[in-house]
Amino acid sequence: MREIAFIKQNKEKWLQFESAIKEKNISYPEELSKLYLHLINDLAFAQTYYKKSKLVVYLNHLTILAFQKIYKSKKEEKNRVLQFFLLDVPLLFYHYKKYIYYSFIIFGVSVGIGLISAIYDDSFVRLILSDGYVNQTLENIKEGNPTAVYKSGSNWGSFIGITFNNLYVGLKAFVFGITGGIGTAYVMLYNGIMLGSFQYFFAKHGVLLQSVKGIWIHGAMEIFAIVMEGAIGLMLGASIIFPKTFKRLDSFKRGMRDGIKMMIATFPFTIAAGFLEGFVSRYGNDMPTVLAFFIILSTLSLISYYFLIYPHKVVAKITSDSSLV
């Protein structure tokens, strides 16, 4: 069957379902389950014969909406917090996954700009990091402790101060999405350039390994969370510029609602990064290199799994789970 004919044959059914699910007009779980079964069949057919079509994306989205309604209609009590982090948020990150790709690209290019600029302009690092910071770090390098800045202050004071600062940066990346994503891109550009020039500065002075041990114990989660927050800000901007079939205000409200949920999911990782910076990173250069890299790779694996891999697993389970209907 040609795709146009398939759409024409089923379009009314899909639109009725979409309207019913959003307006909460489905009264009986049995009725919803029946619709879900039809959607699963239509999705499987579309995935087989129209793999590269936007129809697959649309039907997949409807299927996810159906699953969420079925899940909530179960009689047994579920832990709402666990459902939020293990189902609701991963589905949102899957739905908006293209903005994660955009965010990684923007941040990666920004790091490259910072690196190249620092290589070809000796004054660039001072412009980005300030003379005071550079001079203090040079003194620390001479004393054999290039990341001594992370040992300043108390554990709890550093943890609280750093965590609030990181939350502020993340919220700024998100809220600046109201500029159509331009403000978000600027936040990511600045932080990426700073990171690229920062790391080259240490490499230039022969202390790259020490800097990695002292910075990336907390930086793996911190930087990854910023990229995710940037993706959320880009999504919010797109909801304003590209409302699709929604009214622009309705699209913005939807983007804001989904964005807030996604932002909440980044907070535990941002707080964890602050804890590591306040209590662990200060000992990075004193611990065995193997242990430092174990912490770095473990934290990076954890946050990567949750935001990049787990959402796909959730969707795969939804589309293949026939026991719900």
- Per-residue pLDDT tens for 253-287? 999 999 999 999 999 999 999 999 999 988 888 89
Q: What is the pLDDT of residues 66-121, one digit of tens each?
A: 776 666 555 444 577 888 899 889 989 998 999 999 999 999 999 999 999 999 99
Helices (H), the chain: 3-23, 29-49, 54-73, 80-83, 89-95, 97-120, 124-129, 131-142, 155-175, 182-204, 208-241, 248-279, 289-304, 310-320
Predicted structure pTM score: 0.78
Query: Which has the closest alpha carbon to 200: 99, 125, 142?
Result: 125
**What span, in angstroms and rounded, lies between the C-alpha atoms of 96 and 91?**
9
Q: Considering only CA atoms, which of 91, 97, 51, 73 is closest in space to residue 318?
A: 91
Region 211-235 average pLDDT: 95
Q: Is 64 exposed, middle or buried (0-12, 13-18, 19+ CB in 10 A)?
A: buried
